[in-house]
């Protein structure tokens, strides 16, 4: 099961110096939704998970399950 609090901390860390407004503008996700995700109050829907993982250039497994996946594994699965 996903730990909403840990996911929120990972999202906040990935955001770095960017503002929530910037991430919102870049991704099309609402400021209030992003805030709730980072505070660990809400888990993103699957569509938002895809958007966030692409935006932060990490896999969904890395972002939401804290599971490192090598790029070779990704290529094998895709190919």
Describe the crossing of helices 46-55 and 20-27 by its angle, rounded to 10 degrees: 110
CATH superfamily, with its number, for domain 4-78: lambda repressor-like DNA-binding domains (1.10.260.40)
Per the CB < 8 A criterion, the answer to whether 33 and 48 are in contact is yes
What are the tens digits of pLDDT across the range 26-56? 999 999 999 999 999 999 999 999 999 999 9
Give per-residue pLDDT as tens, 12-28.
999 999 999 999 999 99
């Amino acid at each position: 099961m996903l730990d909403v609090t840990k996911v929120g901390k990972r999202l906040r860390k990935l955001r770095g110096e960017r503002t929530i407004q910037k991430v919102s503008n870049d991704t099309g996700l609402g400021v209030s939704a992003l805030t709730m995700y980072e505070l660990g109050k809400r888990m993103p829907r699957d569509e938002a998970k895809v958007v966030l993982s692409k935006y932060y250039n990490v896999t969904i497994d890395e972002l939401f399950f804290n599971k490192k996946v090598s790029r070779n594994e990704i290529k094998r699965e895709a190919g």
